Structure 1
Amino acid sequence: MKAVLEQVAITEQQSIRAFRYSKKGFDAPWHFHPEYELTWVVKSTGIRYVGNNISDFSEGDLVMLGSNLPHCWKNGEEHTGESESVVIQWRRDLIGDLPVFKHIHELMDRCQRGLCIHLADREDIVSRIQKVLVVDGLHQYLQFVELLDYMASHARYDYIAGASYSYDGTSATTSRLETVQSYVKDHYKDKIKLSEVAEKLSMSEQAFSRFFSKTMSKPFFVFLNEYRVNISSRLILETDLQMAEIAYQCGYESLPFFYKQFKKFKGYTPLEFRKMYWRI
């Protein structure tokens, strides 16, 4: 998934681009743009990529993204039906430099790493997003500023990309990452060797390890296990499969190692994770 520069269609007459997306699946490539973005997933499941972070997403996912932060949403194999989201995009200079906008500017500074809004705060924010969709012109601008002001004052969130993440945006880097991410998506169920991935990039294992760690701020096998754990979390929540079968389907030959990796990334064992969400 090459991080391509997206040309956001905000005309001189517009200050905000707000639209509803609905298709069979999320088909946007891994991309970035100077505009800030607020995305609410109305209907869909899969894997969300933001910077160096991989997370599973489902209906209700709500994130705010900073300028030029690479991102995309990809549906998993298990996804059926329509994928629907609401997206709002805007330029930094939309918000003036008046003191009254100080908290909004601070929010936009923090979202340079991407912000995932806590579930408990999403309902009030979503109701304000919907108001932005149904008006235009000055009314849309006022509704949008009210939305950002509310988020700056009330929204709780987690950072998405790591604090040390930075992206150079060169064509060589994006092409290599596209190859690695596509390979992981196609082969995560298999036993993946570092030499196999390095060969895809015509690099030595050592050179590939240095490149990936520097670019993604994490070693390749951490990235791979993070991907596998996020796939397994959907299977845990949405199927009755035994943990051994889920582990096998996600590329783990050792059940204890699967448990160790799952707890590392999710904070719970797979069984605790299933029981916790089944009680909701």
Structure 2
Amino acid sequence: MKAILEDIKIKKGRASFFAYTYQVPYFEFKWHYHPEYELTYIVKGSGYRIVGNTYEYFKEGDLVLLGSNLPHTWTGKSNQQEHSEAIVIQFSSEMIHSLLAYEESEYMYKMLKDSAMGLNFKSTNEIVNKMEIVLSSNGFEKIINLIALLNDLSKVAYRLISPNSFHTIVSKKNENRINKVCLYIQHNFNSKITLKQVAELIHQTESNFCKFFKKATGITFSDYVNEIRINEACRLLELTEMTISEIVFETGFENQSYFNRVFATKKKQTPSHYRKSVKQK
């Protein structure tokens, strides 16, 4: 998907890396990328995380490491009861590169290499505590604490988020276009969305829009919408007692047979089996 470059160097100033707590009413859709690695832990909040061309539900405790120039965004709905919060650490390859040549850095080297596809970890109290220590430390200790954190993280099992991700640097005009379309889909996926509607959003013909969207996201428009709807269905299967027929309606599918077919294709199991396996876990 096409994204805007975020300049971390300006934000961190003269410091070797940037570590901060991010507090907002909710995570807004902001599709972007940057040369720095990024480690993000979700303290509060839930919604959807888009990394490369993978769209997944996230919630409190989500821990992700993203490689250089990997497009991403976290997006969620407003919760008037409490703010959303994340701990974010962004560091450059230049800063860490000299350490990776040593034999002792074997696991860290592999982890950072794999982070080009996005890595999802099971967070532990120890890792979160070390992230908080990085936030609160100063001077050279801050660097030492970051290296210790990355070393510990490299020994934790992780899952690749977006094995087939890609990145193309694009114009600001196209970045605005794709963000406008994706925001519209995000806000309206539970109702009928026609190709004509989204094409008119960015003043294109349906044919030109299909080519533009496929080039921008790596998948077709209909597959992208289905990806969002199925991930929302998974969230509802996991967190609610809604019937499958109710979920079909809630996620914008026209009928249950089509929903079942798409769900089986994407999740390799039926909705009822998915709910059962989640409950067992």
Tell me if TM exceeds 0.5. yes
For 1:5, the equivalent position in structure 2 comes to 5
What residue identity is the alignment partner of 2:232?
I
Q: Deviations over 1:90-135 (max 9, x none)?
A: 1111114242245434432321222112x2x644432332332232
1:187 pairs with 2:188 = yes
For 1:137, the equivalent position in structure 2 comes to 139
For 2:199, the equivalent position in structure 1 comes to 198
* Structure 2 residues not aligned, in runs of 5+: none
Percent identity, please. Answer: 33
For 1:230, the equivalent position in structure 2 comes to 231
What residue identity is the alignment partner of 2:117?
R
Task: Identify which of 101, 105, 110 aligns with 2:114.
Answer: 110
User: For the residues of structure 1 that align with 2:51 and 2:209, how far apart are their CA atoms?
Assistant: 21
Residue aligned with 2:222, SS:
helix
Q: Shift of the alpha carbon at 1:174?
A: 0.9
TM-score for both structures, normalised by structure 1 = 0.88
Going from structure 1 to structure 2, the CA distance change for 1:78 and 1:270 (only over 3 Å counts) comes to: farther
Residue aligned with 1:95, SS:
helix
User: For the residues of structure 2 that align with 1:208 and 1:191, how far apart are their CA atoms?
Assistant: 18
For 1:216, the equivalent position in structure 2 comes to 217
* Structure 1 residues not aligned, in runs of 5+: none
Matches within 5 A, 1:152-191: 152=154, 154-163=155-164, 165-191=166-192
Residue aligned with 1:263, SS:
helix
Q: Deviations over 1:17-75 (max 9, x none)?
A: 22222332123622222221100111211011112221110111111112222221111
Q: Shift of the alpha carbon at 1:245?
A: 1.0
What residue identity is the alignment partner of 2:66?
L
**For the Cα contact (< 8 Å) 1:64–1:115, is it kept in 2?**
yes
What residue identity is the alignment partner of 1:7?
D
**For the Cα contact (< 8 Å) 2:3–2:169, is it kept in 1?**
no
1:70 pairs with 2:71 = yes
User: For the residues of structure 2 that align with 1:241 and 1:78, how far apart are their CA atoms?
Assistant: 21
Going from structure 1 to structure 2, the CA distance change for 1:240 and 1:77 (only over 3 Å counts) comes to: farther
What residue identity is the alignment partner of 1:144?
L
TM-score for both structures, normalised by structure 2 = 0.88
Q: Which moved more, 1:221-230 or 1:190-199?
A: 190-199
Going from structure 1 to structure 2, the CA distance change for 1:20 and 1:136 (only over 3 Å counts) comes to: same
**For the Cα contact (< 8 Å) 1:26–1:74, is it kept in 2?**
yes
Going from structure 1 to structure 2, the CA distance change for 1:77 and 1:277 (only over 3 Å counts) comes to: farther
Moved over 6 A (4+): none
Q: Shift of the alpha carbon at 1:141?
A: 0.8
Q: Shift of the alpha carbon at 1:278?
A: 2.5
User: For the residues of structure 2 that align with 1:252 and 1:28, how far apart are their CA atoms?
Assistant: 24
How many pairs are equivalent? 276
Matches within 5 A, 1:45-124: 45-76=46-77, 81-98=82-99, 99-100=101-102, 101=105, 103-117=107-121, 119=122, 122-124=124-126
**For the Cα contact (< 8 Å) 1:46–1:79, is it kept in 2?**
no
